[in-house]
Amino acid sequence: MNRAGCREYVAQRREQGIRDNTIRRELAVLSAALHWADRHTPAVVEMPPQPPPKSRHLTREEYRALREAAKKVPHMHLFVVLAYSTAGRAGAILDLTWDRVDFGRGQIRLGMGEKRRKGPATVPMTDEARTALEEGP
């Protein structure tokens, strides 16, 4: 395997409609197999450039529709409101306990810092989050 062979493979896979992330994964498996079989293999596996990360945000209309649909299940509604208002990870929101909700200061402490490298994240409590927390699930 050499650079020219990799480029040809990438071109063929793209013609088949395969995306670069899939092609990169296939070539990574090939590289791992070659190096497993012979640590000192002269094979060179060249991968296509990594595509930029996908970033998708809800529009205000999508959020309103999601929030309204979630009202049918109270704990789901609370989760949706907290996720949107805090931008917290799902695990941090699910692990949230009342002792980390400070109504007086208007703050929510997500995560306790044990798993986080940066320590706990403290975010301001929006009016919508306050209302949802006061109403409870």
**Structure confidence at residue 119 as a pLDDT band (50, 70, 90):** low
**Structure confidence at residue 120 as a pLDDT band (50, 70, 90):** low
Check: CB of residue 45 under 8 Å from CB of residue 1: yes
Structure tokens that stand for 136 in this block:
């409870």
Q: Is the per-residue pLDDT at 116 higher than 60?
A: no
Q: What is the pLDDT of residue 113?
A: 55
Lookup result for tokens 């395969």? 18
**Domains, the chain, ordered by start:** 1-55 (no CATH), 60-135 (1.10.443.10)
Structure tokens that stand for 83 in this block:
């996720």
Q: What is the pLDDT of residue 10?
A: 94
How many CB atoms are located within 10 Å of the residue 127 CB?
9
- Between 74 and 16, where is the model more confident? 16
Work out the percent of the chain whose per-residue pLDDT is above 90.
66
pLDDT tens-digit readout, 15-64: 999 999 999 999 999 999 999 999 998 888 999 988 888 788 889 999 99
**Structure confidence at residue 137 as a pLDDT band (50, 70, 90):** low
Q: What is the pLDDT of residue 94?
A: 92
Please tell me whether residue 24 adopts helix, strand or coil conformation: helix
Is the sign of the CA dihedral 13, 18, 24, 30 positive or negative? negative
Q: What is the pLDDT of residue 112?
A: 67
